[in-house]
Chain A
Amino acid sequence: MSTVIARTVVRTVVPLILVTAIALLLQGHNLPGGGFIAGVLTATAFVLIYVIYGQDYLEEAVFHRTPVPSLEMFRHGILEYYRSAFGLGLALAAASGVAAIGFGEPFLTQTVRFLHHVPLYGEMELASALVFDLGVYFTVVGALLTILAVVGSE
């Protein structure tokens, strides 16, 4: 699979996919997109690297380190990152809900603020739902990559 063409295409395409994913995540509140789609798309980008370059390359060249796996049967320490990603995601989503309780609102109540006169943007919308969506994003990315890594190592 790893022909020169494939390698070159992946090098170009992966950054584009990641930027698209982030754009989808950020614009999700007003335009098509959202945490779930962005998460799946990000996972797809990693899958491309993984299929074309292999798991080890992902570990060494992308993350620049090889973490030691906590469980001896994981062939790839990178699984630790994936697992902490979806742990972080779940915690973030739950925390955004609990934060609402702190303001005396029911669990998971969301709110928006509009900022005016921001340089370049003019008007900007800050939605607390974005935090929750980030949680969704990290959960999806972490979980999908975990599944892929485990199934792929077989």
Chain B
Amino acid sequence: MQLASVALAVSSPQEPSQSVVLAVVLLPFAAAAATPVVYRLLGERTAYSAAGVALACFGLVASLHGTEGSVAVQWIPSLDVALRFYVDGLALLIGFLASGVGVLILTYSRGYMHGEDGQLRYYTTLLTFMGAMLGVAFAADLITLFVFWELTSVSSYLLIGHHRRSASSQYAARKAMLVTVSGGLFMLVGFLLLHAVSGAALGDPTFDLVAMLSNAEAMQTALADRGLLVPVVALLGIGAAAKSAQVPLHFWLPDAMEAPTPVSAFLHSATMVKAGVYLVGRFRPMLLGDAWTTLFVALGLLTMTVAAILAVGASDIKELLAYSTASHLGLIVAGFGIAEKVGAETGAFHILNHAAFKAALFLVAGIVAHEAGTRAIDELGGLRHDLPITAAVTTVAALGMAGVPPFNGFYSKELLFEATYEVAAHDGGLAWLLPAVAVFGSVFTFLYSVRFLMLFFGDRPDELEVHTPPRVMIVPAAVLGLVVAVLSVVPTVGVDVIAQSAFESTASTPGEAADLPHIHAGLPTEASPAALMSAATIGLGAVAYFCYPGYGRLRDWVRAAVSVDPLRPNWWYNRSVEGATAISSRAAPFVQNGLLRTYATWALAATSALALGGYAAAGATLPGFSGVELAPATVIVLLVAAGGAVAVARSPSHVVGVLTLSILGFMIAIFYILANAPDLALTQLVVETLVLVIFLLVLDRLPAFYGEVATTRLLRDGALSLVVGATVTVTVLLATANRSPDPIYDYFVEQAPLPTGGGGHNVVNVILVDFRAFDTLGEISVVGLAALSIVTLVAMRDRGESR
């Protein structure tokens, strides 16, 4: 009865409450900000308060269940960017995973991180990550989505690099960051293309994802007309593939296992890597087509197979699980790629199933590593004697991962088999490769799943010593095991509660009358093609594992294959990073050789070239110069200034140079007085005085006289100064020639003395502190920063690298 009422609620959606949606996303960030204080009070028990926050988020997400619609808060109105959130089945599914698994992971961390360094950092980052992930799930604005997306990458970077002193941990963190963030940039380009096209399709250019999805056909036609459909699909595909570790961008995920195991369970199996498949599911209704199907089916099946084979070659339990995660994400991507509705069913349902059994297995891996002291597959065995509850959890979860009936992974894998078979039966020819590859990949999935399970059976090696894990680590694993068991025994629960509505969001556009089939989840009752494919998978897997060629020999073959360098993306990654490092260290001495004049030359030459190039590109023409009328006093002042400038260039020593330079400065001050600008004159005078003093203080450190200068350098410097002078002259001429006929100063002069305007008679000052106060605030921040930089550069130059 209860299930029926839930299903009913899904079919008649209500609008979500704005405050609840905002609370879901913002609560973890607020909690992260408060963590330093909480940690001071609670110490290691911060884990429980953080888990409480996650539980609150879970409750809020649950209260949104059954609602559908968007809420928005203004962010950058001038660009039509808003904190727009959209609640639907897919968003809720990811939201449930992020908050629900979060509760268990944070609780588990209490035991796993006991006595470790940097727990404050750890909990703060985990909470930030959870907020960012909830943001990704609910974001309905492309820019908001991008910001949260990259925020998850940044928090992942911090968490992978948690062990700051370990070089391999830092390497892994950098690699994950480079791959996922640059993938995100590709995605951003795709978003901007969508924004550009949305103007033609929807009237006004917008970043509003819901508006785009609601007009999916118009968007797709507009994209196709401009020849942008394939580029957009490819760009979003790269973003998703980088995040979800799809071949050939999968190589960062096994390294990411340097992170503490709760992090691996949370970010690198249940949630963050799901962001990529979420993106694919989210855009599926809008972009589905031939390009979409070709790209994602190929990508997904390739990843599913390659990663499963690599998992068989793994020597570390977390490495095995990492490759397995990539493989299952490939399965989800392939599902979303298939145009048939059963494809979307596969993707949506497997997100749920995979998160449940994979998070459970990671927690098991954490318990094993923590209590047995090793993660090497070859050193482990017979763990069921010491870890009975863990063994039970593993049995349920590993068989789910293997796709053995009646465990949960079986149901969604069955849907994939059905989908690939339908495509093959419909298209014929090469399409028969799809079911074949699906079965082939699944055989390897079966193999490594059984291998993982076998850690708990057989004989225990004599040297292995296993402790009893704390209850706080057992309970979360057991809860996840229970979830897997429930999904296994009554798969319709998962479908009715969430998977069906998630499937509907990926198969239909918002507001469309959902005339969609119900996900079929259950044991096969007849010898359907999918059932036969499952039987073949399990049969072949069992033969390969226990009879011929046997797991050990298969593993050795895989290891031999991946020892060929050019076959490993990792090798390419290392080569390119090392190459880039080498190029920069060779280039640096030319541009930054430690001599001030080199820096000045580059900066000035570049500025002049860019400015003059810009004028040339804009087709600016020099206005005719008709001469200006100057008062005799001004002429004298300017002549003296010019004389001072010549004298600076000819001065024999620094002291003389500085003193003559100040002639120039003071003449400019007098020029300001003559030009009726007392404020400027005052400032110029005072600053000139101060600069003189600073120069005299610095001069002490410099040689008293200039050395011999090579003629070539003199020529070069002379040419450069001519160019700079020309740039400034041209700029002044152009800027003054293009005055607006309706000058802005009338407004300032008129408004400044009025109480409603500035209320002051000094217009310059009123502009500084009132009309343009924001600019001034920026300028004084620069002044403050300059002081801080000098403190850092001069006073702290002996620190840094050495410490």
Could you tell me which A residues sit within 8 Å of B by CB distance?
24, 28-37, 40-41, 43-44, 47, 51, 71, 73-74, 79, 82-83, 86-87, 89-90, 93-94, 97, 107-108, 110-112, 114, 125, 127, 129, 132-133, 135-136, 139-140, 142-144, 146-148, 150-154
> Please, which residue of chain A has its CB at the minimum distance from the CB of B798?
A73
Which residues 771-803 in B have Cβ within 8 Å of A in the complex? 773-774, 776-777, 780-781, 783-784, 786-787, 790-791, 794-796, 798-799
> Please, which residue of chain B has its CB at the minimum distance from the CB of A137?
B780
CB distance from A101 to the nearest CB of B (A): 13
B623 at the interface (CB under 8 A from A): no
Contacts of A139 in B (CB 8 A): 780, 783-784
Distance of A135 Cα from B773 Cα, bound (Å):
11
B204 at the interface (CB under 8 A from A): no
Distance of A80 Cα from B762 Cα, bound (Å):
35
Distance of A97 Cα from B682 Cα, bound (Å):
27
B690's contact among A43, A114, A152, by CB below 8 Å, is which? A43
B89 at the interface (CB under 8 A from A): no
Contacts of B690 in A (CB 8 A): 40, 43-44, 47, 144
Distance of A86 Cα from B380 Cα, bound (Å):
61
CB distance from A27 to the nearest CB of B (A): 8
The answer to whether A152 and B697 have CB atoms under 8 Å apart is: yes
Q: Which of B119-127, B420-428, B431-439, B752-760 contacts A (4 or more CB under 8 A)?
A: B752-760
Q: Dominant SS at the A interface? A: helix
> Please, which residue of chain A has its CB at the minimum distance from the CB of B761?
A30
The answer to whether B694 and A148 have CB atoms under 8 Å apart is: yes
Contacts of B799 in A (CB 8 A): 73
> Please, which residue of chain B has its CB at the minimum distance from the CB of A132?
B769
Contacts of B769 in A (CB 8 A): 29, 34-35, 110, 129, 132-133, 136
9 residue pairs A–B, Cβ–Cβ below 8 Å: A29-B766, A30-B760, A32-B678, A73-B796, A83-B787, A93-B776, A108-B777, A135-B780, A143-B786
Contacts of B796 in A (CB 8 A): 71, 73
> Please, which residue of chain A has its CB at the minimum distance from the CB of B770?
A110
Distance of A140 Cα from B787 Cα, bound (Å):
10
Q: Which 6 A-B residue pairings sit nearest by Cβ, starting from the closest?
A: A112-B759, A29-B760, A143-B787, A32-B678, A129-B769, A30-B761
* B contact residues, total (Cβ < 8 Å): 42
The answer to whether B781 and A90 have CB atoms under 8 Å apart is: yes
Distance of A47 Cα from B679 Cα, bound (Å):
22
Distance of A33 Cα from B685 Cα, bound (Å):
13
CB distance from A21 to the nearest CB of B (A): 9
Contacts of A30 in B (CB 8 A): 760-762
Distance of A139 Cα from B776 Cα, bound (Å):
11
Distance of A86 Cα from B689 Cα, bound (Å):
21
B683 at the interface (CB under 8 A from A): yes
The answer to whether A37 and B683 have CB atoms under 8 Å apart is: yes
B765 at the interface (CB under 8 A from A): yes
Distance of A151 Cα from B781 Cα, bound (Å):
20
CB distance from A63 to the nearest CB of B (A): 19
Contacts of A144 in B (CB 8 A): 690, 787
The answer to whether B783 and A34 have CB atoms under 8 Å apart is: no
Known contacts A90-B784, A108-B774, A110-B773: A29-B686 contact under CB 8 Å:
no
B687 at the interface (CB under 8 A from A): yes
The answer to whether A154 and B766 have CB atoms under 8 Å apart is: no
The answer to whether B765 and A28 have CB atoms under 8 Å apart is: yes
Contacts of B701 in A (CB 8 A): 154
Distance of A149 Cα from B776 Cα, bound (Å):
25
Contacts of B636 in A (CB 8 A): none
Distance of A129 Cα from B796 Cα, bound (Å):
37
A34's contact among B698, B755, B768, B774, by CB below 8 Å, is which? B768
> Please, which residue of chain B has its CB at the minimum distance from the CB of A144?
B690
> Please, which residue of chain A has its CB at the minimum distance from the CB of B681?
A32
Distance of A14 Cα from B694 Cα, bound (Å):
18
Contacts of A146 in B (CB 8 A): 787, 790-791
Distance of A93 Cα from B791 Cα, bound (Å):
22
Contacts of A82 in B (CB 8 A): 787
The answer to whether B759 and A147 have CB atoms under 8 Å apart is: no
Which residues 451-492 in B have Cβ within 8 Å of A in the complex? none
Contacts of B33 in A (CB 8 A): none
Distance of A150 Cα from B96 Cα, bound (Å):
55
B795's contact among A37, A43, A74, A140, by CB below 8 Å, is which? A74
Contacts of A74 in B (CB 8 A): 795
Distance of A34 Cα from B686 Cα, bound (Å):
13
Contacts of B580 in A (CB 8 A): none
B200 at the interface (CB under 8 A from A): no
Distance of A128 Cα from B755 Cα, bound (Å):
12
The answer to whether A28 and B762 have CB atoms under 8 Å apart is: yes
Contacts of B774 in A (CB 8 A): 97, 107-108
Contacts of A86 in B (CB 8 A): 783-784, 787
B697's contact among A44, A108, A148, by CB below 8 Å, is which? A148
Contacts of B656 in A (CB 8 A): none
Contacts of A71 in B (CB 8 A): 795-796
**Besides A43-B690, A129-B770, A148-B693, 14 other CB < 8 A contacts?**
A28-B762, A30-B761, A33-B765, A34-B762, A44-B693, A97-B774, A110-B769, A127-B759, A133-B765, A143-B787, A144-B690, A146-B790, A151-B697, A151-B790
Known contacts A24-B682, A32-B682, A110-B769: A140-B794 contact under CB 8 Å:
no
> Please, which residue of chain B has its CB at the minimum distance from the CB of A75?
B795
Contacts of B697 in A (CB 8 A): 148, 151-152
Distance of A37 Cα from B682 Cα, bound (Å):
7
Contacts of B783 in A (CB 8 A): 86, 139-140, 143
Contacts of A112 in B (CB 8 A): 755, 758-760
